[in-house]
């Protein structure tokens, strides 16, 4: 299993080839577990403070994102929590001819377990709209395409970054999830709808090379 941090440069090879890269991180797992236990809304001052601390201000994760997306300018397009739901889901329809344009960063609480279909972004698999609003493929279709299911257990928490076309299932625990995309891709996504009171918080996060795809409700 590839890891982040000192191996961030490997992301430009691991994610295009395997579709994902993972690391075990007890300190991160503790912060995620505290966030979920406190039931802090994701789209709140506290939720975005968590995002800034653990993504934007995390040099290892940001370097990994730059490496796998092969660009310096990207941004946030989606922020949600995934829990145990039967079925393998992806966030984007698969086109194997495209390079890595967007990824999902999953921050996993303690005792989380995921099943991820290695290299699913490199083949076309029949899919349908699943119950949680994402693209779903059956295990039989994924196996029929010659794909291997890899299970990862995060006893103390950690992080998984995957191509948005790769299918994954959360088997146990919670994954606070961020969709990150290159700026040209991000501009084509529907924006997140936020309360106008969050604009100062968003402005503190954004930089010339990191933007958030949002609109505000008055």
Predicted local confidence at residue 218, as pLDDT: 73
Task: Indicate the SS3 state at residue 9.
Answer: helix
Predicted local confidence at residue 100, as pLDDT: 92
- Alpha-carbon span 109 to 120, nearest angstrom: 25
Task: Indicate the SS3 state at residue 158.
Answer: strand
- Alpha-carbon span 166 to 125, nearest angstrom: 10
- Alpha-carbon span 147 to 149, nearest angstrom: 7
Sign of CA dihedral 79, 65, 159, 125: positive
Q: Which of 134, 35, 5 is nearest to 78 (CA)?
A: 134
Domains of the chain: 5-217 (2.60.120.620)
Predicted local confidence at residue 10, as pLDDT: 61
pTM of the model: 0.93
Tens of each residue's pLDDT in the chain, 218 residues: 444 554 455 666 678 889 999 999 999 999 999 999 999 999 999 999 999 999 999 999 999 999 999 999 999 999 999 999 999 999 998 788 899 999 999 999 999 999 999 999 999 999 999 989 999 999 999 999 999 999 999 999 999 999 999 999 999 999 999 999 999 999 999 999 999 999 999 999 999 999 999 999 87
Predicted local confidence at residue 7, as pLDDT: 47
Q: Tokens 């090879």 appear where?
A: 13
């Amino acid at each position: 299993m590839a890891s982040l941090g000192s191996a961030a440069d490997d992301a430009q090879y691991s994610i295009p080839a395997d579709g994902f890269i993972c690391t075990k991180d007890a300190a991160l797992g503790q912060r995620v577990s505290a966030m979920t236990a406190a039931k802090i809304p994701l789209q709140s001052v506290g939720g975005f403070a968590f995002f800034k601390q653990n993504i934007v201000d995390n040099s290892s994760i940001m370097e990994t994102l730059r490496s796998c997306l092969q660009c310096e300018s990207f941004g946030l397009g989606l922020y949600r929590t995934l829990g145990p739901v039967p079925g393998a889901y992806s966030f984007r329809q698969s086109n194997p001819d495209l390079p890595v344009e967007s990824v999902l960063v999953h921050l996993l609480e303690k005792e989380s377990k995921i099943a991820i279909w290695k290299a699913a972004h490199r083949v076309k698999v029949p899919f349908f709209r699943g119950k949680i609003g994402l693209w779903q493929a059956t295990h039989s279709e994924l196996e029929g395409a010659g794909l291997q299911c890899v299970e990862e257990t995060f006893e103390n928490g950690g992080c998984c970054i995957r191509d948005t076309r790769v299918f994954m299932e959360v088997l146990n625990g919670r994954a606070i999830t961020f969709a990150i995309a290159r700026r040209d891709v991000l501009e084509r996504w529907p924006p997140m709808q936020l309360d106008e009171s969050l604009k100062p918080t968003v402005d503190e996060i954004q930089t010339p090379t990191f933007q958030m795809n949002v609109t505000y409700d008055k």
